[in-house]
Structure 1
Amino acid sequence: MNINLNKSGVSLLNALSNHSELIMQAYFSGSVNEAEYSPNIIQSLIDLKVLWRPESDVQLRLRPSLRTLLEESLQDESNRQIDANIGNLLATLTTQAEHYKEALAHQKYHESQAHLSDLTEHVYTLTETLSTNVRLLWSRISNEFGYVSSVDAKIRENELAQTQVTDMLNQLSMFHFDALSQLAGSHRELRHLLVITLQSAFATSTQELSLVQSKLLELLGRFREFKGRTRLLKGFMLHMEQKPDFTPVNYSTLSQVPSLFNRADGIIKVAAPDIHNVEHEFELTSLVNSLRTVNRLWQGKLNREVANPLILEQETSVSLEEDLLKNAVENYFCEVIDSGQNTRALDYYNNHNLTFDQEVWIYQVLGAFQGLPDSERQYFDIDLEGVPHQVFDGNFIIQDIELGLR
């Protein structure tokens, strides 16, 4: 542990604790009123990189890194900054992984642990950045951009959020997990960090961003609807200011009602038969039978076809024949159980003079065994007899099956 860094960190945290009111004032107001504090305090905070002056004629402000820390800790809804710089983080991960693998190759275990610690910190920083960006977008959507008042400002904020979502999706497209998997190789720690952890964060962020994008489009349509109604109301108010004696016409007394006000539905709906209603089946059948035959001028009297009347008959049940092959396989299993001896499938096939194809018979026996529940399959033993394929390695040709009880 570096003693100087430890002392510097303790001094920084003590300064943040002792001057918390000054820091929060600078956070909310944007600058520090130097007249309210002693020059020593101001100078000490400048030396600790807490405050800074962008230009000589500008008041002191909080450092951007400290402001980001406060925005994240306080979950400030006014924070509209999205960190989409994922490309640099990915490049840093690749470099740290190469350092770790090189240190292991040279058996520098202490140095490799240091690189692994840095790599772990960068991975978790990247995943936290993704989750923070999504959380910021959802927080802005939840209150419908309540930190701005006008509808036009809400539309602009919505368009900005959509641009940020697009940028984040473009940044997420830089993840190439096949390359990361190849980089990790057989190292368990690297695979856990570069593949499992990053892939989980990638899947969650991608799914959340798709939902955010659809919600933003829905909100944009609602804001534009509000804007249109507001414009219509303002136009009516301007019209009333210019013509204060205006009175609406009694449209109910007009013979030609404008389409804007004629919004009532028809009293009598259009008649249409419901062919899916079973209760109307007999009426529809009688109507079809009573239809007159349409005569064509070019048809002769002798060649004219006579339409047969439709007759509604009682539905007949269809009986399916039992599958003979399935029954034969079941009888084969029953014979093995009754005899308690191992029986070959082809021996049973020849002894009972079955007429099925032998290959189909063997395939059906194997399929029946595989289809048994685990509680029943454990009572049987099966032995596959065959030969390897002469040309294609790894292929086994089954010639017969021997089934028995355990």
Structure 2
Amino acid sequence: MSSLDYHSETVRQGIERLKLLGRHSELLMHSYYGVPVDEAQLGGRTVNQLIDANILRRPDEHSGLKLSDPVRDVIVQLIADEQRRKVNVDIGDFLTNIRRLVNKINGAEQQADYQISALLQDQLSQEVDDLNSRIGGGIDSLWNRLNTDFAFVSTVQEKIEENEKAHTQVLRWLDGLELINFKELIALAGSNGGLRHILVRQLQGQVSGHFSSLREVQSRLNELMTRFRQQQARNLLVRGMLQFFQQKPNFQPSDYAQRSHVADLINQAAALQPSVAIALDRQRDQQDMQLLLAQLPARPEPEAQAPSSADTLVQFDEEVVMAQRRALHEDVLSFYLSVLDQQHSQSALAYLEQAQLGWDPEMWVYQVIAEYQGLSSTEKTAFHLHYHQDKQGPFNDVWIIEDVELQLLSEGVLA
């Protein structure tokens, strides 16, 4: 950027707005946490400056001043990591120690003090192992709660509450692991092979394993929550029935089978279609079956039919067949030439109807496809044959070609 750009209007305006942000930072943070802006104390001139700079906005004439969306987004991004570090103290302290130790290691190696650098790398490796142990212990504690604590609480509601607490812990660990930015660690390690082994290769494998374990715990918690909700619904139904019987101790359910009119909600069974078959494996019923078969009427014998004379063999003249083939070939060529002349796509069946040709539609479509397949590779590049086809049925993967459409792609000449 040249010296002229530093004095441009855009740079000057940006500097003024940054000064406004710094000058009224306390007011903006209070507004972020919901404290209303006192316009009388702030002054009309300052209010107008903040509004013109898109730092504050007035949603409507009846409401007070609010932070603009860009300023709110900046504040969220600035304090997000700090809030997560407060929740995840272990990982936040670990990242702070990592940066401190890496800076010391790089400083020692710049001064050629490799003995101190090796000691600091051992300390760094111990920090990584300690963090891995803390996370592993937290995950083991979650599994222990899943396998023991939930089984000893007295009610399903308490199990649900324990499940929600465990969910909170899982989310806290997941948020903590997301604080570990490996791009930053790679940049810190630089070209130092020892640091890259500790901070990237070793730590990344451990963090990946912890992510997988936490996802398994989360899946198990969701499964247990579903089961607890089902138990809660059944318990609610049983308690409701028990309360109903306590209020009406003389209640007796009626026999629905003896009713002449059954409620529509209950009478939902489909009609039966009985079918019978002979049980050939029941030897004791053999005699009864023989009697039943003897009473069946005899099957009438088919009448003898005199052999009919063979159908007359229709002989086609070979010259007539060849003449029809040539005529069909010439009509198809006319169809191709018509597409060339008109310079746009055309349906084969539409041309057949328009030209009032007497060919069978199926034979015509087949011949159009055959002529296209018979073209040379150079001639094929001039056309594109689009098939209009439809599936024969939902359970049959046979496609029926109903029509074809010939499209001209580029100028070409048929032989």
What interval of TM-score do these two structures reach, taking the shorter chain for normalisation?
A: 0.3 to 0.5
Q: Greater CA radius of gyration, 1 or 2?
A: 2
TM-score scaled to structure 2, two decimals? 0.42
Of Structure 1 and Structure 2, the greater helix share is in 2
TM-score scaled to structure 1, two decimals? 0.43
